[in-house]
Amino acid sequence: MGKGEQTKEYILQKAAQLFNERGYHAASMSDIMAVTGMEKGGIYNHFKSKDDLAVQAYEYAVDLMRQAFAAAIKGKYHAVDRLQAVVAVFQRIPNGSPLAGGCPVANTAIHANKTHPRLHAYARETMIEWQDFIRRIVQLGIERGQLKPDTDVEMLTTLLISTLEGAIMLSQLHQDDSYMDRAITHLTSYLQSLALPEG
């Protein structure tokens, strides 16, 4: 990676966290300059505008999540193990992993609603991607005889995402991990109840 690419990635890393914590409109160019330690001209050498930076920073944040999901399920064959690995990725979000400020998709969906249609559309597309990711795990688990054949794919997908996103919000709002802990305990028990006996 060349020096220019390293600088651009550094800006994206800092901007992604800033936008995730404050939202597009609340984060000014002065704020971006402060967190990067760079002048406006240096930033605009790599991005056409604040809008361009915001979109690329969102894509950077989502890619961090993709990498976290891929690493979590790597080497896991059983659907329950894979789903619990996905749950564990969400569990770490309130504590700043892989990005400080919470879930970048939920935050962007809220911050950009009616104020930045392009970012809001990207957030919707990402959530659809995550739903499809979970659906595939569940469907494959049913096909492999790992999950009960009457498992409702759509219901399980919605339950996982809505419970986890809600737990992230409550944990951050109250600065209390017990909300996430209770959600994880419930989801772990529920996922195990869907597993078919091996053999």
Band (pLDDT 50/70/90 cuts) for residue 3 is confident
- Give a yes or no: residue 94 inside a domain: yes
Nearest of 165, 190, 185, 159 to residue 80 by alpha carbon = 190
* 104 in a structural domain: yes
Domain-embedded: residue 7: no
Extract the tokens encoding 24: 């597009």
Question: In total, how many domains does the chain have?
Answer: 1
Greatest distance between any 2 Cα atoms in the chain: 64
The single-letter DSSP state of residue 144 is T
* Residue 147, beta-bridge partner list: 195
Within a domain: 123: yes
Question: CB within 8 A of 86, min separation 6: which ones?
Answer: 69, 72, 73, 133, 134, 137, 160
> What would the pLDDT profile of 113-170 be if each residue is shown by its tens digit?
878 889 999 999 999 999 999 999 999 999 999 999 999 999 999 999 999 999 999 9
> Is 33 contained in some domain?
no
Q: What is the mean pLDDT of residues 16-29?
A: 92
Span 42-78, pLDDT tens digits: 999 999 999 999 999 999 999 999 999 999 999 999 9
Mutual orientation of helices 50-73 and 117-143 as an angle, nearest 10°?
10
* Residue 21: alpha-carbon gap to chain centroid: 13
What CA–CA distance (Å, rounded) separates 126 from 115? 18
Task: Give how far Cα 135 sits from Cα of 47, 74, 95, 140, Å.
Answer: 36, 17, 26, 8
| pLDDT of 190 higher than 80 | yes
153 inside domain: yes
Residue 198: pLDDT band with limits 50, 70, 90: confident
pLDDT at 13 over 80: yes
Indicate which CATH number applies to the domain containing 173.
Answer: 1.10.357.10
Q: Is residue 26 part of a domain?
A: no
* pLDDT tens, position by position, 76-106: 999 999 999 999 999 999 999 999 999 999 9
Domain range for residue 65?
A: 51-194
Cα three-residue angle 147-126-153, rounded to 5 degrees: 20
In a domain, 14, yes or no: no
111 has pLDDT over 70: yes
